[in-house]
Amino acid sequence: MSAIHLARAFNGIVSREMFRFLQQRERFLAALVRPLIWLVVFAAGFRAALGVNIQPPYETYITYQVYITPGLLAMIQLFNGMQSSLSMVYDREMGSMRVLLTTPLPRWFLLFSRLFGSVIVSLFQVYAFLGVAYLFGVEMPPIGYLTVMPALILAGMMFGALGMLISSTIKQLENFAGVMNFVIFPMFFASSALYPLWKMKEGSEILYEICIWNPFTYAVELIRFALYAQVNWQALGIVAGCALVFLALSVWAYDPSRGIQQRKAGAGAAA
């Protein structure tokens, strides 16, 4: 196995994710409409009711739409991560995952490539949303559109790895919708996506503690700071750490000698 082989395989896996995404126009539309409803309907209503004081990375008063935009970007990536894991469960049920796993390449590399493909797809969705949000008056510093990209890649990796880990534990495609709702909505609501943490603390100490332990909070803050060309080091450390842990657990779960796959295969593969 040479570096050229790895590069070709990486390119093939990422291209396949792109092709599949381009075939699914509804998925792209949903990825845009969902956060747009939050931005246009929810945030417009809350704009008057909710004051956001000046806190880093903001140096002046901002509108509520501007405040929730990083959370919506993270939400797009979380949905995409879950969708990607749904597609892994689908691939496993349909059998195409076997084609991937029976190639002469290390399993960690195959899973990482697949994960990276899904992150690239999420970047298209995020930038399309930022473009639409701009039309609705949500402007970021011009440099922010560039500096946010590494944060998006890292956050996308964390959500994708989480989705991959979840996909290794899902036995049937039908169970996935419930799991998605169980993961996405608690993560989104119990974070700093909709309200600053200090406001959360005023409302409920318990909820504040949950937000502090929620990795989604740090993905949001990482993106928020990166949009203003700043680094939130704590968020960076936590997001990178979580991404590594989730990815390591996924590789473990898909490992042929130790993982979950063979326990799951028991029912069907005895044939």
Partner 1 sequence: MQKDLTHGEPVKQPVLLVEGVSYYYGEKQALDDVSFKVYPGRVTALLGPNGAGKTTLFSLITRLFDAPTGNIEIDGLSPSKVGSRALGPLGVVFQQPTLDLDLTVRQNLRYFASLRGLKRKEADERMARALDALDMKERIGEKVRSLNGGHRRRVEIARAILHDPSLLLLDEPTIGLDNPTRMAIVAHIHNLARESNIGVLWATHLFDEIEPEDDLLVLNRGRIVARGLAKAVVAETGAKDLGDAFKRLTDTAEEGVAA
Residues that bind partner 1 (CB under 8 A): 1-2, 4-5, 8-9, 11-13, 15-16, 19-20, 23-24, 94-96, 98-107, 256-257, 259, 261-262, 265-271
* Distances, alpha carbon 115 to alpha carbons 109, 251, 261, in Å: 10, 11, 18
Closest distance between partner 1 and the C-beta of residue 253, in Å? 12
Name the residue nearer to partner 1 (CB basis): 1 or 248. 1
Closest distance between partner 1 and the C-beta of residue 104, in Å? 4
**Contact, 39 vs 69, CB < 8 A?**
yes
Closest distance between partner 1 and the C-beta of residue 251, in Å? 13
Q: % helix / strand / coil in the chain, to the nearest 5?
A: 80, 0, 20
Closest distance between partner 1 and the C-beta of residue 124, in Å? 17
Name the residue nearer to partner 1 (CB basis): 172 or 257. 257
**Contact, 215 vs 245, CB < 8 A?**
no
Closest distance between partner 1 and the C-beta of residue 120, in Å? 16
The count of other CB atoms within 10 Å of the CB of residue 91 is 18
Between helix 107-135 and helix 3-23 the angle, nearest 10°, is 40
Q: Give the C-alpha separation, 225 to 236, whole Å.
A: 10
Closest distance between partner 1 and the C-beta of residue 236, in Å? 33
DSSP 162-186: HHHHHHHH---GGGHHHHHHHHHHH
The count of other CB atoms within 10 Å of the CB of residue 110 is 19
Name the residue nearer to partner 1 (CB basis): 81 or 117. 117
Name the residue nearer to partner 1 (CB basis): 169 or 234. 169
Name the residue nearer to partner 1 (CB basis): 24 or 147. 24
Locate tokens 């990795």: which residue?
215
Name the residue nearer to partner 1 (CB basis): 15 or 230. 15
